[in-house]
């Protein structure tokens, strides 16, 4: 995933041990649009740098390459552009809880442009991974809330909760 508003390029290396690549037969499509004319194409690879920063969201790249003997091959991949998901509405935060009380740890996470990877979610309490004990509510693919109810009281002292989530 590229950060928003980046003017990053796409590059691809390729080769052929037989007749060699025919550069004039290489085609590059980005999100369905032919951008071959804006790419720098050689017998060993290509480079494309957009004239404007990438828009947030998923982008698809399709490339067709032919050798001088007329053999074709195609490849495709996707990449995302956007800022990391934001974590908000964390509770409890900067507070002292009554000793012996049950604790509810809760946080909201959201991404405005890309789907959140559910497998990336990790919740730790101090140094212990408590992800499997948490309940995750996902109303859609770009946001959610994680809740962890601790029925046993926490030991006295300061505790650190960390929520990691990626798109």
Query: Cα Rg for the chain, rounded, in angstroms?
Result: 24
CA separation for the pair 20, 16 (Å, rounded): 5
Whole-angstrom Cα distance, residue 33 to residue 60? 10
In this predicted model, what pLDDT tens digit does every residue of 55-88 receive, in sequence order?
A: 888 899 999 999 999 999 999 999 888 888 999 9
**Bridge-partner residues for 132, per DSSP?**
none
CA pair distance 157, 113, nearest whole angstrom: 39
Dist. CA 87–CA 22, nearest whole Å: 49
| pTM of the model as a whole | 0.64
In this structure, are residues 123 and 86 in contact, taking their beta carbons and an 8 Å threshold?
no
Region 21-41: mean pLDDT is: 97
Q: How confident is the model at residue 154, as a pLDDT?
A: 85
Q: How far apart are the first and last CA of the chain?
A: 8
Scanning the structure block, which residue is given the tokens 């969201």?
Answer: 57
Whether the predicted pLDDT of 94 surpasses 90: no
pLDDT given for residue 96 in this prediction: 84
* Distance set, CA 19 to CA 22, 38, 42, 64, 124 (Å): 9, 26, 15, 17, 56
pLDDT at 2 over 80: no
Decide if 160 contacts 94 (C-beta within 8 A): no
% of the chain exceeding 90 in pLDDT: 68
Cross-strand partners of 33: 30
Average pLDDT, the chain: 91
Report the pLDDT value the prediction gives residue 5, as an integer from 0 to 100: 61
Q: What was the pLDDT predicted at 4?
A: 62
């Amino acid at each position: 995933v590229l950060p928003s508003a980046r003017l990053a390029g796409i590059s691809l290396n390729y080769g052929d041990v037989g007749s060699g690549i025919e550069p004039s037969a290489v085609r590059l499509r980005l999100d369905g649009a032919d951008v071959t004319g804006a790419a720098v194409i050689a017998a060993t690879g290509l480079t494309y740098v957009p004239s404007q920063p990438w828009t947030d969201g998923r982008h698809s790249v399709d490339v067709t390459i032919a050798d001088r003997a007329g053999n074709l091959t195609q490849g495709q991949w996707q990449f995302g552009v956007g800022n990391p998901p934001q974590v908000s509405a964390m509770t409890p935060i900067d507070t002292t809880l009554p000793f012996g009380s049950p604790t509810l740890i809760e946080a909201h996470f959201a991404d405005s442009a890309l789907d959140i990877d559910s497998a990336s979610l990790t919740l730790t309490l101090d140094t212990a991974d408590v992800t499997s004990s948490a309940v995750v509510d996902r109303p859609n693919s770009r946001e959610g809330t994680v809740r962890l109810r601790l029925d046993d009281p926490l030991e006295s002292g300061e505790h650190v909760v960390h929520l990691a989530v990626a798109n």
